[in-house]
Amino acid sequence: MPKIQSRVKVDAIITVVDSAQFMDMYQRNSTVPGDDFNRGYGQLLAEQIEGADILILNKVDKASSGEIRTLHELFLSMNPRARVLEAEYGRVNISEIVDTGIFDIEVAEQSSLWVTELEKGESSEADEYGMETFVYTTSMRFDEQSLMNALQKGLSENILRSKGLIALDGTDEAFLWNHAGKFLEFKKIGRFANPADAKTEIVFIGQSLQEKEITKQLESAHAAVKASVN
């Protein structure tokens, strides 16, 4: 096979969404068969949405207007930089997806969900369409077992996506909080550069978010709370 690397370029990352089935798959309480990383459906779908330059909502003729509106709101919150197109039978104007010149590796690397939200103000365009965001921030470290206990019953069904960094008591390692659909996972991603200034920052996206309840659930797992009880 001839070398073609010097002759081609990445023009855009495009994700095609099944508009009629997306939310059902996103909320599935199971892992993707054969996935090497043992991800849940929601986690895999979230990665595909957040990494796209262009999102094509296909099969809009098979989805209700309410379902289409919810997808627009959710995707705007998860990936505000992406262009969103609607299609039936995968048909779109070729000029909208070819030779766009919109792919930028530096932008893609900096498009993490929580980074985008933290850089925005208190409101966003997504808020105006009904999808809400809430950024939980605290310099209080979590007790690991208390946090696991607090999350036993899961997060509110109103929360569709959440992601961020958490700081645990007794370690200077930073952990990624990654939640999509029915799945929530934690993963070590490095160490805090300045442990004294380590803090937790989690972005929550959903509808009719109960900020006080989210805060109450998380604060019950602070290491200081456990220490005061003991």
pLDDT in tens, 59-92: 999 999 999 999 999 998 888 889 999 999 999 9
Tokens of 25: 């798959």
Answer whether 172's CB lies under 8 Å from 147's CB: no
Q: Are residues 58 and 75 in the same domain?
A: yes
Q: Are residues 120 and 223 in the same domain?
A: yes
Q: Are residues 116 and 225 in the same domain?
A: yes
Q: In this structure, is residue 3 part of a structural domain?
A: no
Domains contained in the chain, number: 2
Read off the pLDDT of each residue in 158-186 and give the average, rounded to a whole number.
Answer: 93
Burial tier of 36 (Cβ tally within 10 Å: 0-12, 13-18, 19+) = exposed
CA dihedral 130, 124, 17, 102 (to 10 degrees): 160
Predicted model pTM:
0.75
Read off the pLDDT of each residue in 29-50 and give the average, rounded to a whole number.
Answer: 88
Which CATH number is 21's domain given? Answer: 3.40.50.300
Instruction: Please list the residues that pair with 161 across neighbouring strands.
Output: 180, 205
Read off the pLDDT of each residue in 10-39 and give the average, rounded to a whole number.
Answer: 90
Task: Read off the pLDDT of residues 153-162 as tens digits, 9 standing for 90 and up.
Answer: 889 988 999 9
Burial tier of 142 (Cβ tally within 10 Å: 0-12, 13-18, 19+) = buried
Quote the domain boundaries for residue 149.
112-229
Answer whether 25's CB lies under 8 Å from 45's CB: yes
Task: Read off the pLDDT of residues 85-142 as tens digits, 9 standing for 90 and up.
Answer: 999 999 999 999 999 999 887 776 666 555 555 555 454 544 544 678 899 999 999 9
Name, of 3-17, 107-121, 127-141, 163-177, the range with top average pLDDT: 163-177
Q: Are residues 63 and 122 in the same domain?
A: no
Which CATH number is 217's domain given? Answer: 3.30.1220.10
Q: In this structure, is residue 1 part of a structural domain?
A: no
